[in-house]
């Protein structure tokens, strides 16, 4: 099982994590919470109690939970395809505090 921390969250798989939209250019999505069920380069698909919702990564800020621990991530830090994230997110990884 991968070790999630404030620094490595931008490199890890997000599908399966609990997520909340903390800020977004779409005010109707702020506060939306659920489980990440899919992701594309530009969006996260979140399963909420009210159905499945698509959220634009680039214009949002998220809080992800891994167990009882949570991490805040700016959407720009994860605005990549999941298989490209390791390579392209390294600049954000280096800037994040441990």
> CA dist 74 to 22, 51, 83, 93, Å?
9, 24, 18, 12
**Residue 39 falls inside a structural domain:** yes
Residue 1 has pLDDT above 70, yes or no: no
Per-residue model confidence as pLDDT tens digits over 36-55? 999 999 999 999 999 999 99
Residue 24's beta-bridge partner residues? 60
Q: Look at residue 89 and give its three-state secondary structure.
A: coil
The CATH number covering residue 18 comes to 2.30.30.210
Domain count, the chain: 1
With b meaning 16 or more CB within 10 Å and e meaning fewer, what string describes 79-91? bbeeeebeeebee
pTM, full prediction: 0.88
**Residue 1 falls inside a structural domain:** no
Domain of residue 79: give its range.
8-95
Count of CB atoms situated within 10 Å of the CB of 54: 12
Count of CB atoms situated within 10 Å of the CB of 21: 23
**Residue 3 falls inside a structural domain:** no
Residue 79 has pLDDT above 90, yes or no: yes
**Residue 21 falls inside a structural domain:** yes
């Amino acid at each position: 099982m991968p070790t999630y921390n404030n620094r490595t969250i931008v490199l890890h798989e997000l599908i399966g994590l609990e997520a909340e939209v903390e800020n977004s250019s779409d005010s109707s999505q702020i506060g939306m919470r659920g489980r990440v069920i899919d992701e594309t380069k530009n969006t996260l698909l979140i399963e909420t109690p009210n159905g499945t919702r698509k959220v634009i990564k680039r214009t949002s800020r998220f809080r992800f939970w891994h167990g009882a621990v949570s991490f805040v991530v700016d959407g720009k830090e994860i605005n990549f395809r999941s298989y490209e994230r390791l390579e392209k997110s390294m600049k954000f990884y280096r800037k994040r505090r441990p």
